[in-house]
Amino acid sequence: MQDGEVIIEQQGTAGIIRLNRPRALNSLTLPMIRAITEALHGFASDAAVASVVVAGEGERGFCAGGDIRALHESARTGDGLAGAFWREEFRLNHQIAVYPKPYVALMDGITMGGGVGLSSHGRHRIVTERTRLAMPETGIGYVPDVGATWLLPRAPGEAGTWLGLTGLDIGAADAIHAGLADRQIASARLGAVIEALSALPRGSSSSDVDAALQELSEPAGESRLRQNAAMIDRAFRFDSVEEILAALAGEEGDFAAETRRVLSTRSPTSLKLALALLRAGRRSTSLAECLGRELGACLQMLDNPDFFEGIRAAVIDKDRNPKWSPASVEAATVERFLKPAEPPLLL
């Protein structure tokens, strides 16, 4: 398949999936989710395919996440598209996590939200000097999803809590430190990555893929999250947003001050829900459990005023000045959002 929003092709023994909405930063639509799912099923059963590579077309990004303008419209009209999108996207995230063949994600440029779901659950996650990775949901009145509440709690210390609450973007070294990526390869060498993988023999293992990727890898540099790990761990170890903000107020340095400033701009509802989901994810025993809980929260976000306001400010009016409501969130509200979706997310 050489046209449309997803390009499916085979080069040597490499099955290749290219996201093809470059003007929209390859943001995902429901047809794209279905095309990727179908392609993965096909490559899994094809003995001629040794590995699968997922990449984004264009110069700007791998994938900026779901098409939030379409999700906003679906939430407004109640047409059910948003719920269908999330259900099928989350199933795809799980499919990637358990995929039987080496799955290689080229996280070049912007990799956010759903883009993290397409990449960080895979076995071989490549970042470049251009990578900007984030789970920015608290800034649009939403919550981290696509299995982020499984991934982020397993980052070192409280790095994942910092990422999930602030929504700030990070580079290659930070992504590797947080366990969301494995190695850095220069953007200019990604073509060589595909050539190397396409030359692998049938039946190649993840170790064979690793060896091929290692030949092209380069040092990732210093991680800002690692440099500030002690402060992040002190401030973000608490189980309430209020305690985290108070702890940040007692910390010295620009990093802590900027972190606290950013949190003050995020949806209060999203912050509390995100923290509760992250803590629940830390106690969970499987990605599937986290995805089911996230789906329950996401479906309820369709009735949350901050979801509409955040997307309005970010992508509709683009004034970057959301008016969040309410300013405080009751514990009972948080608990309601933590119930898994009905019917359950079938994987």
Q: Which residues are catalytic?
A: 66, 114, 137, 145
Name, in order, each residue with C-beta under 8 angstroms of 102's C-beta and a sequence gap of 6 or more: 50, 51, 52, 123, 124, 204, 205, 206, 208, 209
Best CA proximity match to 315, nearest among 45, 73, 14, 95: 73
Calpha distance 112→173 (Å, rounded): 16
The full 3-state SS of 127-166, as one line of letters, equals ECCCCEEECCHHHHCCCCCCCHHHHHHHCCCCHHHHHHHH
Distance of CA 131 to the CA centre of its chain: 13
CB distance 294 to 150 below 8 Å: no
Closest CA to 113 of 28, 203, 16, 2: 28
- Phi-psi label, residue 157: left if phi above 0, alpha if psi -120 to 50, beta otherwise: left
Sign of the alpha-carbon torsion through 302, 305, 306, 307: positive
**H helix or E strand, kind and range, residue 51:** strand 51-56
Report the distance separating Cα 279 and Cα 287, nearest Å. Answer: 14
Of 22, 12, 18, the C-alpha closest to 36 is 18
- Listed in sequence order, the residues at least 6 apart from 238 whose beta carbon sits closer than 8 Å to its beta carbon are 244, 247
